């Protein structure tokens, strides 16, 4: 497998055109956290590896991890070679979330493989479970909706699954808004799931500590 980051990785094999490509966005600096957010402790590992393990339990998904800020520190601290995935580096991570999405989508497009869809998720959302991701995929594969997204009150966001036909729109995004513009453009063709308490924000040290203590029986 081609690997622009120089990390030895386990290859994956695409078995059917029903497989889902997954872009895990983990390139941000996490400046409000005051620490490397991707490496914060969580469930006996780090936030990043917790995310990779959760997604790795799902059959028929192929991970593309996009890193940027703190690339060396993260790759040294995490045993990324354990996971069958493609590790990508976004040199323009300061340009916002869309630039990392571009890196992931470009890598998928270059594989010359037809996937059933593209799931976009964030590495700092540890409450989303394998069952939730699997439910999203099952609903998407019914082909009744162009997009399957996650509800955030009156808004929708990631995790979300898009058609391969949406890749051009994903590549046209700019700044730090992510894929919300595409969701708005196709809202009449979108299924929005209620994730309950799984869509928790973890952007400040105080919020992280509170959620850590709550979910680690402290």
Among 27, 22, 24, residue whose Cα is nearest residue 12 = 22
CA 88 to chain centre: 13
Question: Residue 108: its pLDDT value, please?
Answer: 92
Query: Roughly what angle, to the nearest 10 degrees, separates helices 130-141 and 47-56?
Result: 50
pLDDT value for 16: 62
- What is the predicted pLDDT for the residue at 167? 87
Question: pLDDT of the chain along its 218 residues, tens only?
Answer: 444 454 545 555 555 678 999 999 999 998 889 899 999 999 999 999 999 999 999 999 999 999 999 999 999 999 898 888 999 999 999 998 999 999 999 999 887 778 999 999 999 999 999 999 999 999 999 999 999 999 988 889 999 999 999 988 888 888 776 688 899 889 999 999 999 989 888 889 999 999 999 888 75
Q: In CATH terms, is domain 20-215 a member of 3.90.550.10?
A: yes
User: What pLDDT score was predicted for residue 113?
Assistant: 74
Q: Which residues pair with 58 in a beta bridge?
A: none
pTM: 0.91
Distance CA 38, CA 166 (A): 28
Burial of residue 145 (number of CB atoms within 10 Å: 0-12, 13-18, 19+): middle
The candidate with the shortest Cα–Cα distance to 90, out of 108, 72, 104, is 104
Dist CA 103 CA 77 (whole Å): 22
- Spatial contact of 101 and 178, defined as CB atoms under 8 Å apart: yes
Instruction: Specify whether the CB–CB gap between 161 and 153 falls below 8 A.
Output: no
* Tally of CB atoms within 10 A around 188: 7
Q: Give the pLDDT score at 17.
A: 74
Going from N- to C-terminal start, the domains of the chain cover 20-215
């Amino acid at each position: 497998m081609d690997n622009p980051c120089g990390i030895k990785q386990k290859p994956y094999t695409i078995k059917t055109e029903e497989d889902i490509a997954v872009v895990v966005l983990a390139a941000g600096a996490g400046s409000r956290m005051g620490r490397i957010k991707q490496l914060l402790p969580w469930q006996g590992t780090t936030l990043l590896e917790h995310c990779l393990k959760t997604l790795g339990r799902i059959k028929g998904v192929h991970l593309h991890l996009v890193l940027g800020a703190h690339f060396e520190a993260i790759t040294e601290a995490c045993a990324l070679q354990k996971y069958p995935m493609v590790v990508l580096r976004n040199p323009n991570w300061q340009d916002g979330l869309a630039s990392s999405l571009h890196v992931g989508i470009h890598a998928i497009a270059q594989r010359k493989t037809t996937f059933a869809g593209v799931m976009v998720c964030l590495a700092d959302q540890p409450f989303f479970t394998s069952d939730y991701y699997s439910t999203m995929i099952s609903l998407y594969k019914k082909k009744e909706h162009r997009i399957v997204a996650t509800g955030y009150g009156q808004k929708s966001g990631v995790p979300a699954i898009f058609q391969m036909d949406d890749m051009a729109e994903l590549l046209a995004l700019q700044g730090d808004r992510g894929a919300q513009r595409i969701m708005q453009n196709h809202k009449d063709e979108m299924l929005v799931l209620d994730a309950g308490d799984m869509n928790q924000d973890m952007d400040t040290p105080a919020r992280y500590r509170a959620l850590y203590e709550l979910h680690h029986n402290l």
